[in-house]
Structure 1
Amino acid sequence: MAIEVKVPVLGESITEATLGEWLKQPGDAVAADEPIASLETDKVALEVPAPEAGVMGAHQVAVGDTVEVGAIIATIEAGSGAASAAKSAPAPAPAKAETRSEAKAGEPDASITLSPSVRRLVLEHGVDPSQISGTGKDGRLTKADVEQYVKSGAQSSQQAPLAEKGTAKGAQTPPETSSTGNRNEERVRMTRLRQTVARRLKEAQDTAALLTTFNDVDMTAVIETRSKYKDLFAKKHGVKLGFMGFFVKAACMALKDVPSVNAQIDGDEIVYHDYADISVAVSAPNGLVVPVIRNAEAMNFADVENTIGDFGKRAKDGSLTMADMQGGTFTISNGGVFGSLMSTPIINPPQSAVLGLHRIEDRAVVVDGEIVIRPMMYMALSYDHRLIDGREAVTFLVRIKEAIEDPARLLIDL
């Protein structure tokens, strides 16, 4: 008897999702609770587990289809995958010169499960996915894996063999075709996450009176502090001491001094929070996500760094939950890890402000009347001017600057 696979409950107020990827094909053996499909919601990607062990039946929906909670997307048949596949497998066809192995150079092996975004990247760079070690869940490839492989130059050693596939011994290699006339286009449906991000960012621009204020900060003291204590910190707490911990704690202190930055507009009322739930932008294979560090004001540096590290790992393997993403009273986004010098971040409604961090670079600055070289970083605070005045925004950035340039302030709450 076939067991129906239904779309599980996705979270509060989430009623539908998009089928992002089939992880099991008809005839594949599946174990109980083994992921068989990936769903994309407005915020995260979720995996659908098999309700029972058996053989993957027919897919009821296609990749890209929108499905509602409780909808049947597939069936699980009784039996073992190997036996079923052996019975249904057709006799091997005679070998032909035009086989799949002789198709386009660099075309991914169909037996390897790739998400649409990873498949596009593999085709774009002409790499062999079987040569790349996957770091995603169950060893699956992520975009970061492919990008790192390409960056390392490892694919250069495989390009020649791939180009020679299907070429008879002694036959001349066809001349390279000029790329001058190639004007290929690809139309790809936006993921549900990207659609939601686009809609919310546009809503923020249409609704809030956005303004951005800048300041810069000398990172010398933080860099020296990290260098002095990083080994002891890692030994005691089992986690690296990063820059984000300093900025999260500095932000909590500044939010206490300037509470409007931690508030939000609800109709004709202002809601002030006496706690700091800090949303931190984390890079995931399908884009940036913003999980929330709850009650960050009550955490120490180790708690903050452990929480951020856990978010990073779970974002990479796709195990962040809806609960991880909900809420948040203030956001910190670190574009500096990608090399950004300066930006004007957009707030994440209903929050009223976002702090943008950027890359650290040596610059000439004047200190005590002398020109010196210091590691400097630009900070940007984008905020809703309906709620936060310019004076408050500047004061908030100055509080951050003071705490980062003199980390002792974080210990004595100044």
Structure 2
Amino acid sequence: MTTQQQLQALLARNEFENLIAEIRLICLQAPNDQHGNDLVLLVAQYNAFLENEAKLYAADRDVALAKVTDSFQDFIQLLDIPKGDATQAEWFKKQQKNAVEEIVQSPWRWSVLIAVLSLLLLLIGQLRVQQTDFELKARVKKIGLRLAQDWSIGAGYDQFLSRFELENAAAIPTLPAWPVNDAFVGLQGGRIQLNALPIEAGQSITLEADKQECILQLANGSTRIQLDLLGTRLSLPDLGLDTLLGEIETGDESLNLQSSLAPKIWLSVHDSLPLVLPELQVDSIDFNYKAEINPEEKADSSGLLSGFIQVDQGIHQLSKGSGLSLGGLQSAILEIKPQNGGFDLVLRGEARHLSTAYLGQRSNLMPTWLQYFRQNQAFLFYFSSLCALFAVLFPLRNWFIKAKN
């Protein structure tokens, strides 16, 4: 945008033709009858100077040119354009202030206010919050997790199993030779105590329940398992080995197992001794899985059996086969309990994305800003108090201004 400073620079160099062209362009962009009439008079004054220039003495010519210059200078100062680069921001601020004053003084001001408020309500009724708290209580058949912290099954408490199996075993340190890669190890009978099954943070695992059995599989990591055995039969089909460990006479026998990558582990328990899975922190959870056993299942099935998810005081029921997507988990704590061929779980935390899908229909569970404000009573209380305080103090401000004047 042309500024007064730029026009004055043309005037200082006596570039009247370019100056007149710039002024005409400004008048076309912002029509003003008064400015248009004044410009016609200025051009006529300039043309008269050009016609008489050759007839004037040098002193008289300078006086006539000064009058033309002063006329243009006065006209430039009347133009409603920025004064210069340094004051352009001030000019825009002035224009905004004038526009606001025009709206305030306009008879349509209440219509404009209602329109702005309606638009604001429409926006907060459509825009969704970026993050929300949630609580999920559900019964599931199979889930996928990514650990946010180290996790260990059996550490710090007595976990007894009726059967233990490990697929993709890499080594048993007590055996002198281990010629087979990714062997299968089976433990059954007697007393099997699981002391530690650690999994490092960042690992992705799958948990699946089948009657009294829990199947755990790591996606790409490995683990080292520690057990105490008494009267337990160790089976290594790949090595043709079947032996008894932990005889009654000698007492418990410790067994360490080292898995290779992506091991699969079966943990079976007695009916009277439940499997305890410690609380864990996760940064990702997935209830969908690829059908592997039953080819009649859909390629992507949901492990959800039932439950509900509470989001910002709103409860959403989950049916069998519902898809549930939880994205951007933060500080999510999972409590999981194997029971009757499934898992009863409680997941609490914050998420950046929540949605469900059932029979091809997807629903976004992230609350809108309007729902957020409605559910948060504390926010409504403080906002209402602030509005009431403003309604009391604003008239008093006007009264003080009038009294001071």
Scaled by the length of structure 1, the TM-score of the pair is: 0.17
Higher strand residue share: 2
Which one has more relative contact order, counting CA pairs under 8 Å at least 6 apart? 2
Scaled by the length of structure 2, the TM-score of the pair is: 0.17
